[in-house]
Amino acid sequence: MTWVNDVVQGIFLGGAYALTAVGLSLMFGVMRLVNLAHGDLAVCGTYLATTVMAAFGVPLWVAMLIMVPLAFVLGMLLQVTLFDRALRTGPTAPLLVTFGLSVIIENLLLQVYSANTRGVLAGNLDVAVAHLGALVLPWLALLKLVLALVIIGGLSALLRLTAWGRRVRATSDDLAVARLQGIRVRPLFASVTGIAIAAAALAGTLNAVTTGVYPTLGALTLIFAFEAVIIGGLGSLWGTLLGGILLGVTQVVVSQVSVPYAILASQLLFLVVLAVRPYGLLGTPQAPQAPQPAG
Amino acid sequence: MTSRRTRPVVADPAPAGAATADGTRVAVTRWSRAATAATAVCVLVLAVLAALPYLAGTGVTQALVTLFLLVSMAALWNLLAGYAGMISFGQQAYLGIGAYVVWLVGKTGLTPFAGIAAGALACAVAAVPIFALLRPLTGGYFAVATWVVAESLFLYVTTALWLGGGTGVGLQQLSSMTPVVREAYTYWESLVLMAVIVAGVYLLVRSRFGLDSRAVHDEPAAAAAMGVEVGRTRWLAYMIAALGFGAVGGMLIVSTLYTDPASVFNVNYSADMLFMVVIGGIGTMEGPIIGAVIFFAVQQEFSAYGAWYLVAIGAVAIAVVLIAPGGLWGKAARRGWSLLPVGYRVRPRGVSPPGVPGRPGPPAPAGPAEAPGGGGGGD
C-alpha cells in the first residue's frame, strides 16, 4: 500500500510540474520558441505575489488574483517588445535573448530580495491533508493537480472550439498562410505568451507555498518544465501532463529508496527518453521546425 | 582534419589563383598586411605577458589568470555557437570533469599541472557518449539538453562521497608550494592554455573544417547537399570544445586550489560565455576576445556593487542580439576590418586592393568580402 501511496504522491507532484510546464509547452507548440526565462518568470510571479501580500496585508489568494493578470500583461509586453523581434532575427536569437532575460531576472531578484529563501504563507494550506483509506491526500497538491487538469483541459477546449483557438492552430501550422488569411499574428502571439506566463506565475506561487522561493530557483524550474514538455512530446499539452506525472512518480518512488538520488533519477529519465524516443511519448517523429517569426 | 580529401563538389580552395566560371582570372588571398601586424602585436603582447610575473605583483597576475580563462572559454563557446551552430548551456559539465580529474590526478602524487592534460583527455572521452545522446537535437532542444547533462553530473557529484560530495575538494599538493612560485606557474600555464586555445580555434576555423562548419551553421541542408559531412563537422567541433573546456576546468581548480560542484557546474559560466561572445561578435575570431576583455573589465570594476553588472551586461547582450547581431566586431568587419582573417578574399587578378583603379572585371566583392567565410574557394 505504501507503493500505491508513493505513486499517488508522485502523480500529485507531477501535477505541479505539469502546471509549471504548460506555458512552456504552449509557447513551443505555437511559436517554436523555447523560452529559457520561463522558470525565472514563474519565480518572478511568486515574488510579486509575496510583495503584494506584504504591501497590502492580503491573503495569498487575493494576492494571486492581482498577480496573475499582471503576469499576463507582462507576458504580452515581453512578446511584443522582445520575443517577436527575436523570432524575426534568426533561429539562435530567441535562445540568446531568453537566456539573457533569465540571467537579468535572476540577478534583479537577487539584488532586490537577497539570496535568502522566502516563505509563502498560505494559512494552513501547506499542511492540510485529507485521508482516503491509507492514502494521504494533501490539499495543496490536489489543488495543483486539479488546476493543471483544468488549465490543460480549458486550453485544449479553447484551442479546439473557439475562433481564437482556430487562429492559433492555423498560425502554428503555417504562419505565412495564416497571415495570408488575414490573421493578425502579433496580437495572437502576445495573447499566447500572456497565458503562458500567467500560468507559470500561478504554478510558481503555488509550488513556493511548499518549498519557499529564492532567486536561483528559476533554473531548476525551467529544467523540470522543459523535461515534462520533452518527455510528453513537443506540442502536446496532454503529453506535458503525462511527462510531468512521469517525472513526479519517478522522483517520489526513487526517494523512497534513496533521497539524494531522487532528482538525479528524474534527470536520467529525461535523458533516457531523449535517447530512445527524442520526439516524446505522445509526440510524432518529425523534423524539428524553425522558429516562427512574427511581425 | 587538415588532410586534403578530394570532394566531388567543393574543390579545395586554391591558395593563389583560380578562374571563375566565365574564365576571368581571379586572385584568392587569405592573409593581409593588417593580419601580419595583428599577429606581430599578438606575439609582442604575449611576450610582455609572459614576463609579467617578474615585473608585477600577484594581484595583477591573479586577475589576469581570470582574464585568460575567460578568453579561452569565450573562444571555445564561439567555436560551438558561432561556427558550428550549436548553442550549448552545458559546457560547465566539462569544466567540472576537468577540475575533478585534475584533483584525482593530484591525489596520485603527480603534479596537477600535468593533470590538466589528463582532464582535457577525460573530457574528450566523456564527450563521445554525451554527443551520441545529443546528436539528433538542434536549437533550443540541444541547448537545454546539454544543460540537463551538466545538471545531472552536478547532482551526481554532490552525492558522490569519493569526489568529496557537496563540500568540494582541495588541491593539497599545490598548497604546499611556495605561493609566489605556484602563482607564477599557474599564470604561465593559463597564458599558454589561452594562447593554444585561441591559436587552435583560429587555425581550425581557417582550415577546411572551418569552411565546413560555417556552411553547416549557415544552412545545414545546403551544406549536406554540397558534400559537407554535417554530422562529422558538428562532432569534431563538439569534441574539440570538450577538450578545451576540460583544460580550462583543470586550470580553474589549479588557480583557486579548490572546487565544489555548486560552483564548477554552475550555469553562470554559460551565461558569461554567452555575454562575452554575443557582445564581442558571435562567429568572428576577434569578437570573443574583445568581449572577454570587456566582460573582465566590467566584472573587475563593478562586481563590488553586487550583481547589477550582470543585469546590465544581460541587457546589453539582448540589445546586441536584437539590434546589432554581429556584435562589436561585426560592426568593424562590416567596414572591411579583419585582423585574424579566416575567409577567402577573391578579387580580379591585376586589380589592386582598395582605391587603385585597375582593368575592368567582375566587381570585387564589396564590403564584407570576408564575412561569409568565402563560401567556398575560387567562386
Beta bridge partners of residue B346, listed in sequence order: B28
Q: According to the model, what pLDDT value does residue A284 have?
A: 74
Q: Does B81 contact A at CB distance below 8 Å?
A: yes
In order of A94, A182, B120, B129, the CA distances from B87 in angstroms are 11, 35, 21, 18
Q: Which of B138, B310, B318 sits opposite A82 (nearest CB)?
A: B318
CB A264 to CB B81 under 8 A?
no
Strands B17-19 and B25-29: antiparallel
d(CA A48, CA B119): 44
Q: Does an H or E element contain B254, and which?
A: helix B230-256
CB B310 to CB A86 under 8 A?
no
Would the pLDDT of A276 be above 70? Answer: yes
Q: According to the model, what pLDDT value does residue A70 have?
A: 95
Residues B321 and A89: beta-carbon distance below 8 Å: yes
Residues of chain B with pLDDT under 50: 1-16, 355-379
Angle at B348 between CA B342 and CA B354, to 5 degrees: 70
Largest CA distance in chain B: 74
Looking at per-residue pLDDT, the higher value among B15 and A247 belongs to A247
Residues B292 and B276: beta-carbon distance below 8 Å: yes
CB A93 to CB B325 under 8 A?
yes
A203-239: per-residue pLDDT in tens? 999 888 888 899 999 999 999 999 999 999 887 899 9
User: In the structure, what pLDDT confidence band is assigned to residue A149 with cuts at 50, 70 and 90?
Assistant: very high
In order of A90, A179, A252, B309, the CA distances from A83 in angstroms are 11, 18, 36, 23
B291-305: per-residue pLDDT in tens? 999 999 999 999 888
Q: Does A262 contact B at CB distance below 8 Å?
A: no
Q: According to the model, what pLDDT value does residue B260 have?
A: 93
Top residue of A107, A271, A289 to mutate, by most chain B CBs within 10 Å, is: A107
CB B144 to CB A96 under 8 A?
no
Would the pLDDT of A76 be above 90? Answer: yes
Would the pLDDT of A84 be above 90? Answer: yes
A46-67: per-residue pLDDT in tens? 999 999 998 998 888 899 999 9
- Residues with Cβ < 8 Å from B321, sequence gap 6 or more? A86, A89, A93, A96, A97, A100, B278
Of A103-107, A131-135, B13-17, give the lowest mean pLDDT range.
B13-17
E-assigned strands of B336-378?
Answer: 345-348
d(CA B8, CA B131): 28
Could you say which DSSP state residue B27 is in?
A: E
Q: The C-alpha cell of A142 is what? A: 490536489
Nearest C-alpha neighbor of B282 from the set B244, B331, B242: B331
Q: Does A265 contact B at CB distance below 8 Å?
A: no
Which B residues, 150 through 179, put their C-beta within 8 Å of a C-beta on chain A? 151-152, 155-156, 158-159
Q: According to the model, what pLDDT value does residue A155 have?
A: 93
Chains A and B: how many Cβ contacts under 8 Å? 119
Question: In this structure, how many other beta carbons lie within 10 angstroms of the beta carbon of residue B67?
Answer: 19
B322-365: per-residue pLDDT in tens? 998 888 888 877 777 777 777 777 777 655 555 444 444 444 44
Nearest C-alpha neighbor of B196 from the set B96, B323, B76: B76
> Mean of the pLDDT values across residues A16-29?
92
Would the pLDDT of A282 be above 70? Answer: yes
Phi, psi at A237, each rounded to 5°: -65, -40
Q: According to the model, what pLDDT value does residue B2 have?
A: 41
Q: According to the model, what pLDDT value does residue B50 have?
A: 87
Q: Does A36 contact B at CB distance below 8 Å?
A: yes
Q: Does A104 contact B at CB distance below 8 Å?
A: yes
Would the pLDDT of A110 be above 80? Answer: yes
Q: Does B315 contact A at CB distance below 8 Å?
A: yes
Which B residues, 264 through 283, put their C-beta within 8 Å of a C-beta on chain A? 267-268, 270-271, 274-275, 278
Q: The C-alpha cell of B362 is what? A: 567582375
Q: According to the model, what pLDDT value does residue A287 have?
A: 47
Q: According to the model, what pLDDT value does residue A151 have?
A: 93
d(CA A134, CA A124): 22
The DSSP result for B131-184, as a single string, is: HHHHTT--HHHHHHHHHHHHHHHHHHHHH-GGGTGGG-EE-HHHHTS-HHHHHH
